[in-house]
């Protein structure tokens, strides 16, 4: 599949690049996508939830009623879970939600997400560029020139580009990522994927190696 290369003014440069069929043209695997997104979301969880159990409640441990003859159920102290203000039974405890996912499954998920974008014609390739200083207005102008200002945008660079990142940081519908930080969730969450030429080459190099 061939796509046109644009400059930051939104003009067609007259050049085309070919998207790697083994990355952008595969049959998407929805289950691999599900697993990768599930792992990503799980890793975002702090896991600091905690409720107090019976032994952790601050209260008297005196037995509040006789064992027999009271006419009701046996009852211990005021910290009993059946009483108002008592401890919680089997409440949440701090835990780590991480789970292992094979590298090949993660690579397949990323290829599947990229293939979905290619199928939906939601990939734009632009010439490499940078800013001399952070300028949000210049970044907004680029999105307008590319006619994607009304969409949720993910722009990918081969390496960290601080000035471009800072220029897009305050924009609600724009996200700037490096190729190494590209993941399935970010790709699917974006309405349109904007790749620089070097970023496209880096994606080819990284995901092609995953096949070996």
Half-sphere exposure of 64 (CA within 13 A, CB side): 13
Strands 153-157 and 192-196: parallel
* Residue 123 confidence (pLDDT): 95
Is 140 within 8 Å of 149 (Cβ atoms)?
yes
Structural element, H or E, at residue 157: strand 153-157
Where does CATH 3.40.1370.10 sit in the chain?
2-46+98-210
* Residue 26 confidence (pLDDT): 94
Residue 65 has pLDDT above 90, yes or no: no
Query: Regarding the domain with residue range 2-46+98-210, which homologous superfamily does it belong to in the CATH classification?
Result: Ribosomal protein L4/L1 (3.40.1370.10)
Residue 40 has pLDDT above 90, yes or no: yes
**What sign for the dihedral angle of Cα 101, 105, 110, 114?**
negative
Burial 98-107 (b: 16+ CB within 10 A, else e): eeebeeebbb
**Quick one: tokens of 207?**
């995901």
Predicted structure pTM score: 0.82
Q: What is the mean pLDDT of residues 62-83?
A: 89
* Residue 73 confidence (pLDDT): 86
**Quick one: tokens of 12?**
């067609």
């Amino acid at each position: 599949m061939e796509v046109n290369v644009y400059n930051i003014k939104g003009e067609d440069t007259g050049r085309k690049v070919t998207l790697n069929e083994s990355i952008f043209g595969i049959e998407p695997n929805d289950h691999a996508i599900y697993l990768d997104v599930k792992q990503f979301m799980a890793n975002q969880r702090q896991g600091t939830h905690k409720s107090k159990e019976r032994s952790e409640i601050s209260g008297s441990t005196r037995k509040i009623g006789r064992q027999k003859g009271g006419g009701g159920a046996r009852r211990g102290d005021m910290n009993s879970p059946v009483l108002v203000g008592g401890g919680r039974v089997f409440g949440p405890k701090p835990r780590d939600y991480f789970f292992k996912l094979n590298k090949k499954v993660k690579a397949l998920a990323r290829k599947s997400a990229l293939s979905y974008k290619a199928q939906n014609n939601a990939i734009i390739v632009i010439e490499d560029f940078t800013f001399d200083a952070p300028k949000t207005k210049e970044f907004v102008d680029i999105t307008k020139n590319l006619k994607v200002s009304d969409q949720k945008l993910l722009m990918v660079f081969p390496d960290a580009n601080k000035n471009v990142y800072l220029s897009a940081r305050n924009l609600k519908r724009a996200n700037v990522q490096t190729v190494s930080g590209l993941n399935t969730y970010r790709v699917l969450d974006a309405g349109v994927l904007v790749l620089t030429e070097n970023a496209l080459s880096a994606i080819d190099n990284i995901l092609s190696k995953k096949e070996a």
